[in-house]
Structure 1
């Protein structure tokens, strides 16, 4: 697919930059970390995307996680079309939101959930609820974890913050983050020390269940359980951010892989992405006694005009209904095969790397010899090697996350053709990465 035309994408990007900051509506889409022209997509079907110039790509972004079933799954499209025909928004309760909430409660540790419209809104609301429930202000978070663009949680965040190399949190007053304690990830001793000093003032610990925004950095065995223990010993809450991992890492989210096995549960948990089926939908939930503090049942206020939107909840519910245990088994097998293909190609080309995974999710750590366990390790990646690899894969019809600090996603639609296209592109891309490591063009 070498020498592909990007004329129409380039023209659209020029138009977009005249009316939108950086020409995009979410920063990483701008390709600043990898160079070249962002591809404007026109259609998605199964495991494939087609851009406005007619170029076709195997997609390993999946709208950053939601497309568990692949793009335009017939059952989801049919359900959405039926929902749209009944009306797009009512501003009242509707049955689909009840059914989606029931499905989330059935699969997870949450006893009650509140639906919202974005992952950022979910974490912002969970944070407010934790503070309201405990009567405390301080929050513990971890360097490299990304919880949406909530002011208090942008300190040392992953995702676009690290991809674009943005220093600090411009636009966020110092007093807003004054109550945010940022600790190294996977460091139980640091958590113990923070609580020893500030324990009576800490409302909660918030952590990604398995961080996927500094590259995929899984929790060390027992880390999440230790967070739960430490928080409870000091009267604080544990918020597990499963916006990315929920219904994606495994059927019940990452909690299925550790908490459900080890016998602990977060006090509050946030969801997004997969539960919206490709539409803007998210949720936060948790123990009933905490959730009942939300208005109108309790005094902690939270609201949203489009929360529980009937079209979005229908798409999410249909997606979860189709996400059977067998589907997750197939997803995991596909993920293992993709990881094997990538690692074999990079090894053959002499590119030092680590592939790290949590359930069906994974990412490549570029230029590192040992497993990465924290943000400092993730920041040592060879981003030039990734950029060369990304560009070569894109030219050969494989669409990857345009950042070394993001997670790869597979779907139920990644079939033999999709994997064959990936396999065919890998040797050339791996050689490009090797040249970048050596400083050769």
Structure 2
């Protein structure tokens, strides 16, 4: 997500535009917000394609398909104007990581996560087909890993098979994930999506789409059998979606399912926080470059629940900053005692008490104790030893501006540890590790 560019709209329909989420060949996607405070994704066609009848017709089909299948497995459509001078569509905003990005950044999914992915995508495709469409572009870039499961997006080339149970022949799609019949440009139907499902699952497990005629090298026997069935060359030999949904919901696979890997879960958490605090460009002053700040905005009017550390821990984003005297004092863990404390660096005097109107919090959880923990806020460093988890501390910091630097570093025996860094209950950093330590830094 990044700041808006010159020429980007300030509003689309009834939605205020806050930031850019991404841009593709045909459209740009913005983060927007409704008058009621709801975060939305606004997809707007590039202006140069607005006069192309074929592209407008494609956008019409995409809106129709997205409306038909929106729900638990695809973002719901909130509003759309496919006949506007520049066509656009607004859907619910899903802070998530695409499967392609997750695999490229963090490696193939473990078997437990892949089972969850397979079950969710099979259920999503079954819903698409019951609505009368075939997706035709199932691939890692169009699969979002959200905190509560996978989502299927981008119905740009979706088609309606019609009475003959086949969509008109088209070679549109993504090479490596298209079925043989789709690549050949012959009629395609639901079995084509099943083939793409197998290719996408192979990518999730190995980091690459399957090569034609080569064995599927997936260690989990059950997953490999599912993928191989989906990749059969003859469409009539592939399993149907009802069969796949039932197979993937059987007790054996369910027991092996797991949430997303810790690194992926942490990145999802970061994007949840980013949606409530999008980047904005500061006005340009004479001789000064354009800078960036973070909006201290809210996902919802009264607050929003954010998944924490990938473990389902809820965190409430408060509607107003907490100030001294507003209620309960910041929570501290009294058991660990500091072994070393350093004064603020020279030239960085402490803020006066009247300026301390924000609260920065560190919160760590895990299944092991920390052998050491060092945190630094605004030049003041504290080191603790033998820290039991969960652990939390809070530090008063000055109102913005200026920004306040912070740093966190910890070590532990082999195990899993996660952390959050919050300012006035708004996430500013999160992550974790399954090794022996970690570190992070930033500004608040």
- Shared fold (TM-score, shorter chain, > 0.5): no
Which protein has the bigger helix share?
Answer: 1
Larger strand proportion, structure 1 or 2? 2
Structure scoring higher RCO (CA < 8 A, sep ≥ 6) equals: 1
Considering only CA atoms, is the larger Rg found in Structure 1 or Structure 2?
A: 2
TM-score by length of 2: 0.23
